Amino acid sequence: MKGIIYSMTVITLAACSTKKDMLQAPQAKKIEKKLTIHEDTRIDNYFWMRLSDEQKEAETPDAQTQDVLDYLNAENEYLKQVMKPTEELQESLYEEIVGRIKQDDQSVPVKINGYLYYTRFEEGQDYPLYCRKKGDQSATEEVLLNMPEMAKGESYFAVGGQSVSENNELLAYSVDLVSRRQYTIHIKNLATGEIYPDEIKNTTGGMTWANDNKTIFYTKQDPITLRSYQIYKHILGTPVEDDILVYEETDETFECSVYKTKSRKFLMISSYQTLSTEYRFLDADTPDGQWKVIQPRERNLEYSVDHYADYFYITTNLDAKNFRLMKTPIDQTEKSNWSEVIAHREDVYLEDIDIFRDHLVITERKNGLIELRVIKWSDYTEHYIKFDDPTYTAYTSYNPEFETDILRFGYTSLTTPQSTYDYNMNTMQTDLLKQQAVLGGKFSPENYTSERIMVTARDGVKVPVSIVYRKGFKRDGNAPLLLYAYGSYGYSMDPSFSSIRLSLLDRGFAFAIAHIRGGQEMGRDWYEDGKLLKKKNTFYDFIDCGKYLVENNYTSSEHLYAQGGSAGGLLMGAVTNMEPNLWNGIIAQVPFVDVVSTMLDESIPLTTGEFDEWGNPKDKVYYDYMKSYSPYDNIEAKDYPNILITTGYWDSQVQYWEPAKWIAKLRDLKTDDNQLMMYCNMDVGHGGASGRFKRYKETAMVYAFMLQLEGIKQ
């Protein structure tokens, strides 16, 4: 094949004199590319793998595109041949995973503006029906979107935002057919079923109605970087090309979005980046009015806005690293008018609020665990909702109704399936509305044990780790264990139940989540100690958690596996370079591994908005630090563990060429005979396959990768 070096046209078995027969892996061609900045030159032999969107979308591939396609397809074929002995196991795992899923499932209805909205799946369908009933459950069902019909013939299909007009007659919804986060908005008349010709392309997928039932506000993206930077106003029935630009975000480090407050009285434009936010508001009854800024943006000032009565409620880090709650009159919104409602606390991170007519519900994080705090407006008496598991996830669910004493919340743990509750904030009575069904007849929570331990990292910091395993698990160092983490963007990786994971637990695996720095589990400092020039704390924490699990006989290096995706894939690449002998296997999903080159290229989606997360390598201090941990730049001629990489050709968040270059360089330099494989799904992007079941084919492949390394064949 042109441009790729193979020892044979079709990948076949090649003789190996010292080991059992091995498959011939594809070897990518090298074209030296010198990348120079700060008087430092990096050599990238695989820079040629990068294609533009125009090249990818062209009907006839040019020579470079064909080279890339040939290489990616060769990697896929190589993986298929290496994994061929596990085909029956993969199929068995897939059937097992799908067999636990209730196929004719339905969500708990949510009441919005007089209607009960819900989604339901029909037997064997990958996609749900989006439905509603007027008044109560006895009413006739209306199918708003028949997604199984809409998805027919599409290799990828996803519905983004959905918004119903105030008069309940019109539905705006968005669709992505490529998996590049570029949505087209459509409008449907719910009475007649007519799809209006108003078709709005290249949006983020989110939209909201003004209260006049004819005006829609939506967010447009930059077609190259996919930065959400413009808010437009569309009037039903008018040409889309005549839509009015109401706001443009000119700072390339910011993005923007538009939404309506829970009170349904105000439209909000949110401008945001890592360290700063800014909000504008407009009376939802006057969509042609003038937008007003609540508080002008300032460096290191973050805030979010809710509305109640005559006040805006402001959750902010103003003089409060772990955030506090303020309020301000609607006609006097700048921070000089803000007054405190809930003070800052050093040991509690204020994560979110939900406002009701008679109650305020606060989501807090203390000692790494979520707490739900209920406060009564009339006298400020308060209480916490109690949870019993040692490690768990609790969260306020979608609560669109304002005049109610019922809080809808969700709860799950490593041993408790996803559960939806209604909680009476006056009587403190909790009603279980639905718990995720686990079919097959083999699951019982009593068969599994979860733990929460604190691991002392190398700098003395205590890192929480959540662990689950089947009862009877022996801590003798012989059991396989999968350690998972993310550790970026302040995103907390809370423990939750997975019926899919049972396929590992029931085969003797333990599963652990390392709540490492870079997340926000332990408060704002936890995040700030794992980004920019402290990013290596993220990697050190994960390594130290792995070593603890080995030293305390939960597993051994011969049976320890690590998994992470996206920024968690960066984590996988870093710890593989830093401690290659600690792991038997690494699963890196859509991994962000070419950090320096990506952060130097402002045409790539997400780059400009992330300088405050990773640093700007145009500054030599950040360049040097980034280069010191970037997985692609730190590959060496040494032994590496078994590695499985997954990616998507249409990924807009971590472009396919990062993992493709990474595996090519690894294969060229590594000195071991361990497995090194990559699967590139040629039809999807960052989130993987769409649909309810297709994605589990890849899960079964990942599980089979680990199981075959453990010698587990069934």
pLDDT (tens digit per residue) in 117-138: 999 999 888 889 999 999 999 9
Complete DSSP assignment for 418-449: -EEEEEETTT--EEEEEE----SS---GGGEE
Q: What's the whole-number mean pLDDT along residues 245-269?
A: 95
**What pLDDT shows up at residue 354?**
96
Residue 4 has pLDDT above 70, yes or no: no
**What pLDDT shows up at residue 17?**
32
Phi and psi dihedrals of 437, rounded to 5?
A: -80, 135
- Determine which of 38-42, 90-94, 654-658 has the lowest per-residue pLDDT on average: 654-658
Closest to 481 in 3D by CA, of 413, 547, 562: 562
Tens of pLDDT, residues 283-325: 999 999 999 999 999 999 999 999 999 999 999 999 999 999 9
Tens of pLDDT, residues 581-627: 999 999 999 999 999 999 998 877 667 778 989 999 999 999 999 99
Tens of pLDDT, residues 334-379: 999 999 999 999 999 999 999 999 999 999 999 999 999 999 999 9
* Domain boundary assignment for the chain: 154-293
Angstrom distance (rounded) from CA 538 to CA 494 = 16
Decide: residue 50, CB within 10 A, 0-12 exposed, 13-18 middle, 19+ buried. buried
Tokens (6 digits) for 688: 């993987």
Q: What is the pTM of this model?
A: 0.88
Measured in residues, the chain has a length of 714
Angstrom distance (rounded) from CA 144 to CA 390 = 41
Tens of pLDDT, residues 200-217: 998 999 999 999 999 999
**What pLDDT shows up at residue 335?**
96
Tens of pLDDT, residues 496-544: 999 999 999 999 999 999 999 999 999 999 999 999 999 999 999 999 9
Task: Name the amino acid, one letter, at 27.
Answer: Q
Phi and psi dihedrals of 382, rounded to 5?
A: -145, 160
Q: Is pLDDT larger for residue 622 or for residue 1? A: 622
413: Cα separation from own chain's centroid? 19
CB 550 within 8 A of CB 613: no
Residue 248 has pLDDT above 80, yes or no: yes
Q: What's the whole-number mean pLDDT along residues 54-73?
A: 92
Give me the percent of the chain exceeding a pLDDT of 70. Answer: 95
Tens of pLDDT, residues 469-478: 999 999 999 9
Q: 13 pLDDT band (50/70/90 cuts)?
A: very low
Angstrom distance (rounded) from CA 609 to CA 374 = 35
Complete DSSP assignment for 636-698: -SS---EEEEEEETT-SSS-THHHHHHHHHHHHH--S---EEEEEETT--TT---SSSTHHHH
**What pLDDT shows up at residue 654?**
84
- Determine which of 160-169, 433-442, 646-655, 701-710 has the lowest per-residue pLDDT on average: 646-655
State the DSSP code for 127: S
Tokens (6 digits) for 328: 């301000």
Architecture (CATH level 2) of domain 154-293: 7 Propeller (2.130)
Which residues, in sequence order, are bridge partners of residue 195? 188
Tens of pLDDT, residues 164-194: 999 999 999 999 987 777 899 999 999 999 9
Q: 3 pLDDT band (50/70/90 cuts)?
A: very low
Residue 389 has pLDDT above 70, yes or no: yes
Q: Is pLDDT larger for residue 180 or for residue 64? A: 64
Which residues, in sequence order, are bridge partners of residue 511? 468, 482
Residue 7 has pLDDT above 60, yes or no: no
Q: Which residues are catalytic?
A: 566, 651, 686
State the DSSP code for 489: T
Angstrom distance (rounded) from CA 574 to CA 38 = 23
**What pLDDT shows up at residue 308?**
93
Residue 487 has pLDDT above 60, yes or no: yes
**What pLDDT shows up at residue 686?**
54
Residue 652 has pLDDT above 90, yes or no: no
Angstrom distance (rounded) from CA 632 to CA 8 = 28
Give me the percent of the chain exceeding a pLDDT of 90. Answer: 83
CB 172 within 8 A of CB 186: yes
Residue 15 has pLDDT above 50, yes or no: no
Any idea which residue has 């709005």 for tokens? 200
